A and B are shown apart, each in its own frame.
Chain A
Amino acid sequence: MKTKMKLSSNVLQMKFMKRTAIERQEELAFEEQQRQIDDEHWYLDIDKEKKVESNVGSVIVESSYSIFDGVGFGRMSFNGFNPQIEKLMKPTDEESKQKSDSDEKEINDEEMAEHFSNSLETTINKKFVAKRFFKQTKGPKAKRLAT
Chain B
Amino acid sequence: MIPSLKILPGDEIEIKRKDGKEIVIGPGLRKDNQNSIVSMKCGVLKKKENFFWLESHQKRYIPARNEYVIGIAVSKSAETIKVDIGSSEYASLSFLAFENATKRNKPNVEIGDLLYCRVLTGNKDMEPELVCIDANGKSNGLGVLKDGFMFKVDLELARRLLAGSNQLLRQLSKHVPPFEITIGLNGRIWIKTNSCKQTVFLVEAINQYAAIADLETENFIKNLLKKDNLLE
Contacts and interface: CB of A to CB of B under 8 A. Distances in A.
Contact of A65 (B53, B140, B169, B179): B53
Interface residues of A, number: 33
B185 A80 contact: no
Interface stretch (B99-107, B160-168, B224-232): B160-168
B181 to A, nearest CB: 5
Contacts of B184: 74
A61 B25 contact: yes
Query: Chain B interface: which size bin?
Result: 35 or more
Highest count of chain B CB atoms <10 Å: which of A81, A84, A85: A81
A63 B62 contact: yes
Contact of A60 (B23, B30, B124, B141): B23
Interface in B131-170: 140-141, 158-159, 162-165, 169
B163 A70 contact: yes
B26 interface: yes
Nearest to A69: B163
Interface stretch (B65-73, B78-86, B205-213): B65-73
Task: Tell me whether chain A's interface is mostly helix, strand or loop, or mixed.
Answer: loop
Interface in B172-214: 173, 176-185, 192-194
Interface string A50-85: 000100111111111111111111111111111011
A69 B116 contact: no
B66 A69 contact: no
A88 B140 CA distance: 7
B25 A59 contact: yes
Contacts of B23: 59-60
A135 to B, nearest CB: 46
Contacts of A125: none
A63 B64 CA distance: 6
A59 B13 CA distance: 13
Contact of A74 (B31, B36, B68, B178): B68
Contacts of B48: 68-69
A65 B26 contact: yes
Contacts of A64: 26-27, 64-67, 122
B108 interface: no
A96 B66 CA distance: 20
A80 B181 CA distance: 12
Contacts of A61: 24-25, 30-31
Given A75-B116, A76-B169, A62 B181 contact: no
B27 A63 contact: yes
A66 B185 contact: yes
Highest count of chain B CB atoms <10 Å: which of A60, A63, A84, A92: A63
B162 A62 contact: no
Nearest to B182: A75
A56 B23 CA distance: 12
A62 B26 contact: yes
Given A78-B169, A78-B173, A67 B31 contact: no
Closest 4 CB pairs of A and B: A78-B173, A70-B164, A64-B64, A81-B178
Given A62-B26, A70-B163, 10 more contacts: A59-B23, A59-B25, A65-B64, A71-B163, A74-B68, A74-B116, A74-B182, A74-B184, A79-B178, A88-B141
Interface of B: 22-27, 30-31, 33, 35-37, 48-49, 51, 53, 62, 64-68, 116, 122, 124, 140-141, 158-159, 162-165, 169, 173, 176-185, 192-194
Interface of A: 53, 56-82, 84-85, 88, 92, 96
